[in-house]
Chains A and B, each alone.
Chain A
Amino acid sequence: MSETLLRIAAITNADVRIRFRKASTAAIFLLLCIAAYLWIPDPSTGRALLQMNEQRALYNSPALAMATASLCNILLGLVGYYMVSNSIARDTRTRTGFIIASTNVRNWQYLAGIFFGNLVFLTVVVFGFMVSSMVMQLVRGEAPIDFASFLWHYMILVPPMVVFVSAISVLFESIRWLSGRFGDLLYFFVWMFVLAFVAITAEKAVEKPWTANFDTFSFAFMLHHVKLITHSNAIAIGSSNFDTTKPPFIFPGLHLTASWIYARISSTLYPLVFVPAALLFFNRFNPLKVKSSQIGNKRSLLARGNALIRPVTVPLFSLTGSFSSKPSMMHAVVSEVFLTLQLYPLTIFLFAGFFAASLISSSAGLQQKVLPVIFVAVALILSDLATREKRSGTTNMIESMPLLKPNFVWWKLFAACTLVLLFTTVPFVRLLIHHPSSALSLLIGSIFLASCATALGIASGNPKTFIVSFLMFLYVVVNDGGKTPGFDFAGWFGVATPAVQIQYVILTIIMTAVSFVVYWWQQKNR
C-alpha cells in the first residue's frame, strides 16, 4: 500500500476506533433497536409500518426492508450528522491537530481520512439498523426472512445518504463559522431542504424528474416504483393507522431498472464534491484561527454576534454583584441565569424581539408561529447549560462551591426553567386569557423542555445531544400540525387533552429522575 493510502487508512482507523469505544455509540445501537421495535408495530393493533391507499403491506422482507431503509435515511440524515460532525473539533480540542499539522500529512489526506471515518461509522450504524429491523421481522414478520432482499433494498436506498452526511459534515467542520452551533442549526434546515427538494418534484412528476439525480433520501426512486405498483402517491411509511377492512397487499420490492442506474450513482456521488470544497476552507489547525476560536470564542456566527453585542449589555450584567450576599440556591440559580446571558448576550435581544412578537401577534400566530421559534431559540440557549462545566473543565471548581455538588441537578434544572419561562411568560399570560388549556400546556411544555435539556446535557456532556433530539421532535410536532394531540406538548395547536398534559408532566418527572440517576452514577464512578 502506498504511503498516502496508509496515512488515510490510519486516520480512518483511529476515527472509527474512537467512535466505537464511546458509550454513546452503544446507546445509539440500543436506540436503533427501540426505534425498530416502535416503527414495526403489531398489525393487530390497527397500526402498520407500510401502507398504500390505507391498505397495509404484508410484513415480508421487501416491505420491511424498503420501509425501514427509508426511515433510516430520514433518521441518518439528521442524527448521523450530529454523530459524526466532531472529528476536526476533537483534534483541535486535544491539540493533536497541531501534531498532525506538523507532520507531512497533506490536507486532502487528512480530510479524506475523516470522510472515510464518517463513512465507515455510518455504514456500521446502518448495518445495525438493518439487523434490528430483521430481528423485528423474526418477531412480527408474516413471511420468511430474506436476508438478500434486506441487503438489496438497503444497498440501493441508503448509500446516497451515508455519503451525503459523511461529506457535508467534513465541509461544515472545515468552515469556521459553520463548525459551531450555528452550523448545527443551519444543517437542520439543509436537511429539511434536501428532504423537500426531491420529494416535492418527485410527487408531481409522471416520469423520472431531473431532481432524481440528487435523490439523497431516495424518495424519487421509491415513489416512482410505488406509483408503478399502486398508480398513486398514497404511501405512508412509519407506524400509522390503516384500514382494517382492506386485506394486506404483498409488496414485491424495488427493482433497479437501467434508466435509474445513472440517477442512483449520481445521487451517491454528487455529495463527494463537498470534500474538495472543504479543502478550500480547512485551516490545518492554524493557531491563529484555532486560538481565536478557543480563547476568544469568536468562531461561529452566533459567537461573533454575541461578541458584537457584549459591550452593549455590560451595564446590565453589573447587577450580578448585588446578588452575592451569602450562598443560597436561589443566588446560585440567578447567577447561572446571568452567566448564560453574559455568555450569550444575543439572548437579551432575542428576548426583546420575542417579547414584542408575543404581544403584537394574533392568537393563532402566537401559538403556531411565534412559540415554535421561541422554543428553537431557547433550545439553543439551554443546550449549553448542563454541559458547560464538563466542556470548560470547571467541574471540580464548581463542585467545590457551597451547595452546588449535592444540588447540581436542581441548580441546572431551575436555571433552565427560569430561562425558558423568561421567554414564555408573555405568551403564557396571553394564552391564559383566551385559551387557558393551551396556557397550561405551554407551562408544562416549558418545564418539559428544561428537564430534557438538563437530563440530556448531564448524561452526554455534549450540547448536540439535546439539540438534535429536540430538533427531531420539533420536526415531528410541526409536521403533524396538531393532528395528533399527543404531540401538542406546549399548546401550539390547542389540541392537547388533559391526558396529554399529564403525559408530559410524567415525562418531565422521568427526565428529572434520569438527571438524578445519571449524575449520581457519574459521581460514583469518578
Chain B
Amino acid sequence: MIRIEAVSKKYPSGVFGVKDLSFTIPSGVLGLLGPNGAGKTTLMQMMATITNPSSGQIFFQDVDIARNPEFVRRRLGYLPQDFGVYDNLTAAEFLNYFAALKGVHNRTKINEMLELVNLHTVAKRTVGGFSGGMKQRLGIAQALINDPDLLIVDEPTAGLDPEERVRFRNILSDIGHSKLVILSTHIVSDIESIATEIAILKHGQLAAFGTPEILLQAAIGKVWECVVSSTEFEGMRSKMKISSAIRRPDGVHIRLVHSDSPVQGAISAEPNLEDTFLYWMNYAGFAA
C-alpha cells in the first residue's frame, strides 16, 4: 500500500511541481494521467526516493520513505522516462549489472527477464545497436528483475510497437494482481485497459482520483456527437474540446466534451476514458 499525505514539491524558482497531493492506493495498477508539466514525473521520482518532497509524507507499507528510503528501495522497480542504456554492454551484461546493484544474484533470473521482454535471442548483442523499442524493453526487464513489490514506470510504452505494448500491458496487469504498479502515460488506452485506479493531475494538483468507472460516471451527459458543416466546425473548434473529428461527404462528424448540448441535434454519447480525461482537465475543478 502507498499513502501520500499532503505532498508538495517546490522548486528553487518557487514553482510547485506537485502541490498538496493526498491519496491512498492499496494494490493494483494506478494510472497517472495529465498533460506535460502536470507533475507526474515529479510525483513518481518522489515515490522512487530519487528526490524528497518539500513537505508532506509518502508511506509505503506504513513506512515513511523519506526517513527510511532503503525500505522502499529494496522492494522497488523503477523505469524512468527517456531511459538510456550503456551502448557498449550486451543486453545480458546490462541486466546483470542492475541485478547486482539490486542484490539479485540468481543468474537464471536474467534469462527469465530477457525471455519475458522477448530479448533472449539478442542477449549477447551490444545494446548500442538496439532499436528504441528494444531498449525500452530492456529497461522494463531491469525494473522487474528484483520481483518488486512496488513498480513505478514512467511512460513505459513509448517507442513500443502495438504488439509489444499489449504484451507489456499484460505483464503490468499480472503484476498488479498482487503488487502495486504505478504508471504514467500519454496513451490513455494503456491505462484504460489495466488501471484499477486513476489519478488525473493538473498543474501539480489532483484533479480526480478513483476507479475508471467512477471517473467515467462523472463525464456521463457531457459527451456529445453531432454532424456539422465545415464552417460550423471551425467555429466550434476554438471554443470546445473536441475529442475526434472525421470529415465525411455529409459534413464533419465530431465527438466533443461539453457541459450541455453544443448544437441542435447533438446526441449524448457514452464517455470513454479519453473523453473523461478531457472533461476533468477542462470542465471540472480539483479533487477534494
Contacts and interface: CB of A to CB of B under 8 A. Distances in A.
A96 B78 contact: no
Given A6-B105, A7-B101, A95-B82, A101 B50 contact: yes
Nearest to A109: B101
B101 A3 contact: no
B70 interface: yes
A96 B143 CA distance: 11
Find the residue from A6, A93, A104 having the highest chain B CB count within 10 A. A104
10 contacts: A3-B103, A17-B89, A18-B86, A18-B89, A90-B86, A99-B83, A102-B48, A102-B49, A102-B152, A287-B45
Nearest to A288: B51
Of all A-B residue pairs in the complex, the 3 with the closest CB atoms, nearest first, are: A94-B84, A10-B100, A21-B88
B251 interface: no
Interface string A12-42: 0110011001100000000000000000000
B283 interface: no
Interface string A83-108: 00000001001111011111111000
Given A10-B101, A95-B80, 18 more contacts: A6-B105, A13-B97, A14-B86, A14-B93, A93-B84, A95-B84, A96-B84, A96-B85, A99-B98, A101-B49, A101-B50, A102-B49, A102-B50, A102-B78, A103-B76, A103-B101, A104-B70, A288-B51
Chain A, interface size category, equals: 20 to 34
B102 interface: yes
B86 A94 contact: yes
A398 B79 CA distance: 31
Contacts of A7: 100-101, 103
A199 B83 CA distance: 47
Contacts of B86: 14, 18, 90, 94, 96
A103 B84 contact: no
Contact of B97 (A14, A93, A286, A288): A14
A421 interface: no
Nearest to A101: B50
B241 interface: no
Contacts of B126: 21
A55 B105 CA distance: 60
A3 B143 CA distance: 19
A285 interface: yes
A104 B96 CA distance: 16
B88 A18 contact: yes
B235 interface: no
A190 B184 CA distance: 46
Interface in A463-498: none
A145 B98 CA distance: 45
A175 B49 CA distance: 21
Nearest to B11: A288
A286 B84 contact: no
A94 B97 contact: no
Contacts of B73: 102-104
B74 A104 contact: yes
A19 to B, nearest CB: 8
Main secondary structure of the interface of A (DSSP, over half): helix
A475 B78 CA distance: 47
B83 A103 contact: no
B154 to A, nearest CB: 9
Interface of B: 11-12, 42, 45, 48-51, 70, 73-74, 76, 78-86, 88-89, 93, 96-98, 100-103, 105, 126, 142-143, 152
A216 B48 CA distance: 42
Contacts of A284: 50
A237 interface: no
Contacts of A285: 50
Contacts of B79: 99
A11 interface: yes
Find the residue from B42, B70, B103, B143 having the highest chain A CB count within 10 A. B103
Nearest to B79: A99
A90 B11 CA distance: 25
A9 interface: yes
Contacts of A9: 100
A285 B48 CA distance: 12
Nearest to B143: A99
B100 A99 contact: no
Contacts of A17: 88-89, 93
Contact of A98 (B11, B45, B100, B102): B45
Contacts of B100: 6-7, 9-10
Contacts of B88: 17-18, 21-22
Contacts of A11: 97, 101
Find the residue from B49, B84, B89 having the highest chain A CB count within 10 A. B84
Contacts of A102: 48-50, 73, 76, 78, 152
A188 to B, nearest CB: 28
A106 to B, nearest CB: 9
Contact of B80 (A10, A93, A98): A98
Contacts of A101: 48-50
Find the residue from A95, A98, A105, A285 having the highest chain B CB count within 10 A. A98
Contacts of B97: 10-11, 13-14
A286 B82 contact: no
A95 B83 contact: yes
A285 B83 CA distance: 14
A363 B73 CA distance: 65
Given A17-B89, A21-B126, A286-B51, A99 B45 contact: no
B100 to A, nearest CB: 3
Contacts of A13: 97
A396 to B, nearest CB: 14
Contacts of A22: 88
